[in-house]
Amino acid sequence: MLNKPTSLSSPTTQWSHLLNSQRLGASKKFNANTSTRSQFHKDYDRLVFSHSFRQLNQKTQVHPLTNQLGIHTRLTHSLEVSSIGRSLGMMAAEKIHDALGSGLPAGVLPADVGVIVQAACLAHDIGNPPFGHAGEYAIRDWFRQPEPQAILQNLSSNERLDLLAYEGNAQGFRLLARNEHHPDKGGMRLTCATLGAFMKYPWLATHSNDVNDNHYTVQKFGCFYSEASQLEELAACLHLPRSEQHDGFARHPLAYLLEAADDICYALIDLEDGIHLNMLTYSEVATIFYELIGERPSSVNLPAHMSVRQSLASLRARAMMRLVNTVTDVFVANSDALLAGTLQGSLFAHCDTSVQNGINQAKQLAREKIFNHPSKVRMELMANQCLHSLLNAFMPLAWTGSESATMQPPMSFEQQRLLRLLQPHLDEHRRILSDDIYHNVLNILDFITGMNDHEAYRLAQELQGHWGTVV
């Protein structure tokens, strides 16, 4: 068990642990700044050139399989979140230095902190399955169906809960720590600082969920049981304190900035997409932007000399500027609680009323008029059927295609062909279908969740014999 930082540990010492440039999974030691291209810059570059990041180009942000140009995907969303995250990281570090006269360890500049948050933000959705959150719900729902129950009973409670409460955040950590670049030898080998900032939920499913619950209401978590040792190694490297709420770890302070960057883009950009898809009006969105800016005009009308797009861009820039300033002020004001791992809620929960109201209004408007819009509901139903078709087809291989399958009936022709489709993925990651059903299931989920929306839709259609309706 790791101990919480004591009062004898100075902020500078704590930050020296939290900004550790050691790479998870690598034995070689690295200096944070041996050249103009720091270890943290290398993290960013590794992410940009990774296959999993490229796949975000056709993965859902909010609107699955939209054909309208300019609507955000997970890729464009992640790029925008990383841009806001860089500003938050740099400004927070500068304000900490100004307020305390110290704080950052020697050799670490505010720009380095900005790059750490930028890289973490770039990766924050890298584990999302096809069709966004609808994909997560579909996977959870599939494992709650009657057919898989006999198999789930053979798994441990930790393993079973990973599937019943399936999380894209945990899949993201699995990609970064195990799958990408160096399978089973450290994954992408990002620095511990970047991985710490990436981990919004540094705990297992069993730390935040009741094993005996029906799992229809699940709490988020950030690490599958299969990567528990990597999480322990990461927490030890960063000296993360244990959480006060459960047996997991407290968040890295920079993870709060990642969360804030994501919320800022969620609140502003998703609403703009709603206008372009005729789900929201200009007045509805501009009213919220003015709330976030801190102004309350008597009427909200489109300026005569501006298009809707131009006016929203102007308001968005002003809102973002205020939010970045406000969030970084709150970060500095609560730095002691952040370092001790005791801060409750998000940074926005500690902002002034107008900012809290604006963020809450944005989320409420999105829930009411975007997430429940009939066109989006229809697409989510399609996404659910699509992923269920893929899981129905491939998941039985986890227990019929393993080395112990000699006790099972011979594989059918269809299962042999499905295994042929799966085999290149297994070969690339130097995996086999073994006696361990839990790891077989995760390997198949790696394959399915690694697809983008169009690949998943096309394969599901082909498996059902529909050759003329692929996109």
Asked, for residue 116, whether it belongs to a domain, the answer is yes
Q: With a cut of 50, say whether residue 147 has pLDDT above it.
A: yes
Arithmetic mean of pLDDT, 68-91: 88
The domain total for the chain is 1
CATH assignment at residue 141: 1.10.3210.10
Continuous H helices in 277-373: 282-293, 308-333, 335-340, 353-369
Arithmetic mean of pLDDT, 398-404: 71
Helices 74-100 and 110-123: angle between axes, nearest 10 degrees: 150
Asked, for residue 304, whether it belongs to a domain, the answer is no
What percent of the chain is predicted at pLDDT more than 90?
62
Please give the pLDDT value at position 67.
60
Please state which of the ranges 90-99, 207-216, 223-232, 440-449 shows the lowest mean pLDDT: 207-216
Asked, for residue 270, whether it belongs to a domain, the answer is no
Asked, for residue 155, whether it belongs to a domain, the answer is yes
Query: Would the pTM count as exceeding 0.85?
Result: yes
Q: Which is nearest to 272 in space by CA: 54, 64, 77, 56?
A: 77
Task: Please provide the average confidence, as pLDDT, over all residues in the chain.
Answer: 88
Asked, for residue 453, whether it belongs to a domain, the answer is no
Please give the pLDDT value at position 11.
84
Q: Which of the listed ranges 58-72, 221-235, 406-420, 423-437 does the model predict with the highest average pLDDT?
A: 221-235
Confidence of residue 375 (pLDDT cuts 50, 70, 90): confident
Please give the pLDDT value at position 215.
56
Q: With a cut of 80, say whether residue 264 has pLDDT above it.
A: yes
Arithmetic mean of pLDDT, 124-135: 92
Please give the pLDDT value at position 100.
72
Asked, for residue 4, whether it belongs to a domain, the answer is no
Arithmetic mean of pLDDT, 383-392: 96
Q: With a cut of 70, say whether residue 68 has pLDDT above it.
A: no
Task: Supply the range of the domain harboring residue 207.
Answer: 16-27+36-254
Per DSSP, the three-state class of 73 is strand
Arithmetic mean of pLDDT, 335-361: 93
Residue type (1 letter), 255: A
Asked, for residue 178, whether it belongs to a domain, the answer is yes
Q: With a cut of 50, say whether residue 140 has pLDDT above it.
A: yes
Residue 30 DSSP one-character state: -
CA distance 55 to 123: 12
Asked, for residue 94, whether it belongs to a domain, the answer is yes
Arithmetic mean of pLDDT, 262-274: 87
Rounded alpha-carbon distances, angstroms, from residue 370 to 251, 291, 373? 31, 20, 5
Please give the pLDDT value at position 404.
53
Arithmetic mean of pLDDT, 207-215: 73
What percent of the chain is predicted at pLDDT more than 70?
89
CA distance 326 to 346: 13
